[in-house]
Amino acid sequence: MTGGAGFIGSHYVRRLLGPKGPGDVSITVLDLLTYAGNPANLDEVRDHPGFSFVHGDICDAELVGKLMVEHDQVVHFAAESHVDRSIDGGAEFVRTNVVGTHTLVEAAHCAGDRTLVHVSTDEVYGSIDTGSWPETHPLAPNSPYSAAKASSDLLALSYHRTHGLDVRVTRCSNNYGHHHFPEKLIPLFVTNLLDGKKVPLYGDGGNVRDWLHIDDHVQGIELVRTKGRAGEVYNIGGGTELSNKELTGLLLEACGADWETSVEYVEDRKGHDRRYSVDCTKIREELGYAPRKDFREGLAETVQWYRDNRAWWEPVDKGTASRRVV
């Protein structure tokens, strides 16, 4: 499992190796432990007999090749994932997301008879004013981040079509939940508000996102890993569309803050996509997926986790993330 010390990957590891997991898996996490990778995210499973950790780079072909022959499946989370950082400079996004993914699929092809679940994003579709994207919608990414992810999707799928590699791609909407590195909207706003600081809201706050709880996301990934079809793409959504302004209001309420003293409107992001929305008909009808977590309940639990776990996020240097959102 690549990127298993990050937000989504570590939750998936804890889910599979936890008491409600399938009980028949062992996992090797490969993670370079860049700024958003936190070894503490894996403390809960570190002593599990089915867990092992390798500190390494997915672009290291020799290491990836060695690990690939020892495993029969790969779930690929590792990615540079923050749009604002990609606007500041896209080279690392191309290296990790494109070259890293190519390194993995080439190693899987050479090892033979491997399954690779490639975890991607709804941002590869671009922006949509009305309706929702099906998996067949043409890709139209608008940021260096989403362009690198779209490239990695196409590379992975090309190895299925050319070599018959069992590649399955998931494209999720915006995730939220505990252990989320505080550069994205919800953890950034919550941690700022808990510290009595202002939160930065881009533009007019009208950008709309579909919110997906981390529990529901890993449920969808696991369905694709165990029941998905080779060569297919599956959208995974949460079913709660909110503008950033609406979400900000909910976070202010949850943290006991007020709009006038706690919100600072900032210059909009370059090329900021207005709205994302994925059509989840395929994964629902084929694999039985449905989001289970009520958004208000999930948001309250998330805020409470950050209240209770200052020791996890207070040491984090948010740096320029303090003026960044989604």
Q: Does residue 123 carry a catalytic annotation?
A: yes
Contacts 24+ apart (CB under 8 A), 281-284: 281/134, 282/134, 282/135, 282/232, 282/234, 282/235, 283/220, 283/223, 283/224, 283/234, 283/235, 283/236
Q: How far apart are CA 129 and CA 194, in angstroms?
A: 34
Q: Which amino acid is located at 46 in the chain?
A: R
Catalytic residue among 106, 123, 183, 222: 123
E strand segments, 21-173 = 27-31, 51-55, 73-76, 115-121, 166-172
With contact defined as beta carbons under 8 Å apart, do 303 and 190 qualify?
yes
Neighbours of 189 (CB within 10 A): 30
Catalytic residue among 80, 84, 122, 153: 122
Q: Does residue 12 carry a catalytic annotation?
A: no
Catalytic residue among 12, 125, 145, 234: 145
Q: How far is CA 132 from CA 225, 226, 280, 281, in A?
A: 24, 26, 9, 10
Please say whether the dihedral angle defined by the alpha carbons of residues 10, 170, 148 and 144, taken in this order, is positive or negative. negative
With contact defined as beta carbons under 8 Å apart, do 59 and 96 qualify?
yes
Token code pair at residue 281 = 């008909």
Q: Does residue 44 carry a catalytic annotation?
A: no
Token code pair at residue 196 = 């009595």
Nearest to 299, CA basis, from 213, 237, 239, 215: 213
Active site members: 122-123, 145
